[in-house]
Structures are given as structure tokens and as C-alpha cells.
Amino acid sequence: MRYCSLGSGSRGNATLVEFGKTRVLVDCGFNLRTTEQRLGAIGLSPRQLNAILVTHEHSDHVHGVERLSRRYGLPVYTTPGTFHAMDKPDLAFEPVELGKRFVIGDLEITPVAVPHDAREPCQYIFDSGHHRLGILTDTGTITPWIIQQYGGVDALFLEANYDPLMLLNGPYPPHLKARVGGRLGHLSNQQAAELLAQMDKSVLKHVAIAHISEKNNRPDLALGELSQVLSGWPGQLCLAEQKQGLPWQDITGLSHQQFAQSGSR
């Protein structure tokens, strides 16, 4: 199993997950041309995708979904609430029920309910039968359900959206600051670290920091906060960026012994 990010941040999000002959795109916040270009840069055509999974209806996650789906005949999997909020009734819609596993090709997928200011948002856990990848962004609060569901994953694509002091002193108007930092907003660096501190990390080998705000955070702050809680952890910590995304990450490629020899980054 492997995954990559085509870009992660407030100006567009798209994450590709691959196992066996199955490739699914989680969200598509870029226009069709940009999506095609970014897929091409990693050696793929949209025709090689099996489906689009949508987490919620905000534009940085769905801007390109309609055109990509129509152009390449891709089914769109999401919750009924999200689908109705997208207001695209004639898309090839496949309903997703929160907490109920479903299968696309070689992947078993679990949609996880999360607190976010959207109609019926969810995030996803992917299971190949041997390894599990969790994607968790656009979440305002770490709940016991999230801790339980994401425990025991091999890899985690995790939002660390903002630094509280930068958000407080930053350029956003008060209502937007309250939204981002509220219980239905986004995860701060500290909240992301808190999740890692509480979850079962017994098989966790890889963490990628995602959805970093360009105005309310810095990569060094996010990396520093998560590195503290992961001190002594023999895994790999990396960063997904808005422009460059994150290149292919093979979560089956390194054993715990190899990670212990290389140390965390």
C-alpha cells in the first residue's frame, strides 16, 4: 500500500491511495487541468483511478470533483449529507454510511465521523488486509471515537492546521479565527500532538503532517510540536505541502527494525 498528496492546504487538497490494482482519490480541491497535471507528474492518468472519495463539501476539497468525475466516468463516494450539500444531483453518487465499512477493489474503507462545520463530514481509514492508512484532516476536536478508530494504523496523514498564537495574532477577522479554532474547525499543532500521545502507536511507522495553514502556522512549528510527543518513536515524520504535495509514500516498504535503525525525522 502506498499514498501521495497532490497538494494539502487551504488552496486545495487531494490525496491518492493505491493498493494492488486499486487507486482512489480522496477529495479533489484543484481544477481539472491542475489535477491532470499533478497526476501526470507522478506518472498517472485520471483514467487509472477507480473512484473519488469526498470528505466534505468545502471548496478546497471538492472544487474539481464534478469535472473530474464527469470527464473520466468516476463514481463519487461520500455521505448523503455531503452529497446534497455539493448540490450536484446527477453525479455518479455512491452513498457512504458513517462507521460502515465498504470495499472498492482491493481496499476496505471505513468512513469515520468527525466534528467539522460541514453537513455530514467524515474522514477515511484504508485497509489492505495487511496494513492500515488513516487520513484525518478538517477536524475541530479529538474525540474518543477518533482515538479508538485511528489506533493501530500503520500510517497517518494528520492535520496540524494552525499554531494558536499565530492564529490569535494573524490577519483573519475575529469570526474566522473563532471558526478555525473552534470545536468544529481545524486541529492545531497541539491537538494533533495530543492525538498522537493518546492513540495506539504499536504499529505506527509513518506520520505525515497535512493541511498546514499558510497564514496561521509554520512547518517548523508543526514539526517541532509533533516531534516532541514522538520522541523516541522509531518511525518517519514528514510534511505534505500545498504546492509540492507529498511524493509516494510506501507504508509497507520499511519494517520497524529499519525504522529503529534510521530513527525518526
Kindly report the CATH number assigned to the domain that includes residue 26.
3.60.15.10
Cell of 142: 479529538
**Residue 85 falls inside a structural domain:** yes
Task: Count structural domains, the chain.
Answer: 1
**Residue 144 falls inside a structural domain:** yes
**Residue 258 falls inside a structural domain:** no
**Residue 220 falls inside a structural domain:** yes
89 CB-contact burial (10 Å; exposed 0-12 / middle 13-18 / buried 19+): exposed
Beta strands in the chain (DSSP E): 2-7, 14-19, 22-26, 51-53, 76-78, 93-95, 102-104, 107-113, 122-127, 132-136, 155-159, 206-210, 236-239, 246-250
**Residue 255 falls inside a structural domain:** no
**Residue 158 falls inside a structural domain:** yes
Contact status, residue 209 vs residue 236, Cβ threshold 8 Å: no
**Residue 138 falls inside a structural domain:** yes
Residue 126 to residue 157: CA distance in whole angstroms:
11
Is the pTM value of this prediction over 0.75?
Answer: yes
Contact status, residue 105 vs residue 20, Cβ threshold 8 Å: yes
CB count within 10 Å of CB 260 equals 12
List the chain pLDDT tens, one digit each, 265 residues: 999 999 999 999 999 999 999 999 999 999 999 999 999 999 999 999 999 999 999 999 999 999 999 999 999 999 999 999 999 999 999 999 999 999 999 999 999 999 999 999 999 999 999 999 999 999 999 999 999 999 999 999 999 999 999 999 999 999 999 999 999 999 999 999 999 999 999 999 999 999 999 999 999 999 999 999 999 999 999 999 999 999 999 998 654 444 433 333 3
Range of the domain at 110: 2-245
